[in-house]
Amino acid sequence: MGLTGYATPEGTAGYAERFGGRTAGGHFREWGGKWLSSLGIGTYLGEPDAATDELYTRAVARALELGVNVIDTAINYRFQRSERSVGAALKAQVAAGKVSRDEVVVATKGGFLTPDGAFPPDPNAYFRREYLEKGVLKPEEVVGGMHCMSPGYLADQLERSRRNLELDTIDIYFVHNPETQLQAVPRVEFLRRLGLAFGKLESAVKVGHIRCYGVATWDGFRRPSRAGDYLSLEELVRLAEEVGGKEHHFKVVQLPFNLAMPEAYAFANQKVGGEEVSFLEAARRLGIAVLASASMLQGQVGRDLPGELRSALNGELQTDAQRALQFARSAPGVDVALVGMKRVEHVEENLKLREVPPLPAERFASFFSKE
């Protein structure tokens, strides 16, 4: 289908070693034996056109050259075009000998209905022809006319993602915003559906199509426990154990974390063993890696920061974008801070952060001190 292999401990360690003195301590972090860059490149925003395709291809290639070995995308980003840009960039970099497949962690997501390449003139006819008539999904499995996580649908989306990315094996596969289903179905039914999804993804691990899976969320893990769309990490881990045993492959979670959305660190809304803790602490205790999305909230927290905050976020940094990323990647428990970058100049600006160590834990905690 495409490039063979997947990220390995040896490959990612070799990637980190190549940068040696060009990165400060803490830029590469160990997870599951592999070494991941503290910043990852995201591919969400932009028009579904050829010009943006080329921008992302160049930006991903440049990120790989500058010390980023984590790439995040989703099948619905820009109607499947972001996945194809990622695939084109990685394939070209491998062919040029600048990187090898086993050095790079690629994550994608499935769950939202998406067209192919462009918005169709008649979307209802497109989805009926492409999914309903082919038996990929049933109408009752779709919530809000846009979200589905049935086993058949995820299997279809995973195969499309593998083709788009030109990869035999995807390192991380996320169920995309599963809490969307809670808008329409009771929690018991939601957990049944998510359990079936996890079961399908355990099967995908066994046949080598993915290496591990998780959930990529927006609201679920940031909400109070009484909220209708709240997600309990302990409950999801237990669900994974039910379908995959103690050696299950539910290993990663993605959620927003930034200067304006610090709940994962500051809000004790999770329970682990009966104790109320923050999401990041829950993930640490349960052995779940965390990818922080929206690290700059689409640029909203990457400019016009107050002078006091600029100083606290490390005065040697040159831009507010760098300072916002410094905040996100310095939170204890965040493994990778993702940032959308479709321009080479933004990649080069943000990757200057690799030369600066993350904030110490006690200094990060001072942002939340009441004194």
Task: Please return the burial class of 323, using the count of CB atoms within 10 Å of its CB with bins 0-12, 13-18 and 19+.
Answer: buried
Instruction: Tell me the backbone φ, ψ of residue 271, rounded to 5 degrees.
Output: -120, 130
For residue 303, what pLDDT is reported?
Answer: 87
pLDDT in tens, 106-159: 999 999 999 999 999 999 999 999 999 999 999 999 999 999 999 999 999 999
Residue with tokens 């969307």: 180
For residue 371, what pLDDT is reported?
Answer: 53
CATH class of 9-356: alpha beta
For residue 248, what pLDDT is reported?
Answer: 98
Alpha carbon distances (Å) from 294 to 12, 193, 267, 340:
24, 27, 18, 8
Q: Which of 163, 193, 157 is nearest to 178 (CA)?
A: 193
Question: Rounded distance, CA 134 to CA 155, Å?
Answer: 13
For residue 316, what pLDDT is reported?
Answer: 79
pLDDT in tens, 352-369: 999 999 999 999 999 997
For residue 309, what pLDDT is reported?
Answer: 87
Query: Residue 171 is which amino acid?
Result: D
Which residue ranges in the chain fall short of pLDDT 70?
315, 370-371
Sign of the alpha-carbon torsion through 7, 13, 18, 21? positive
Domain residue spans in the chain? Answer: 9-356
For residue 370, what pLDDT is reported?
Answer: 63
Instruction: Collapse the DSSP code of 329 into the 3-class scheme (helix H, G, I; strand E, B; otherwise coil) and give the result.
Output: helix
Instruction: Tell me the backbone φ, ψ of residue 160, rounded to 5 degrees.
Output: -65, -40
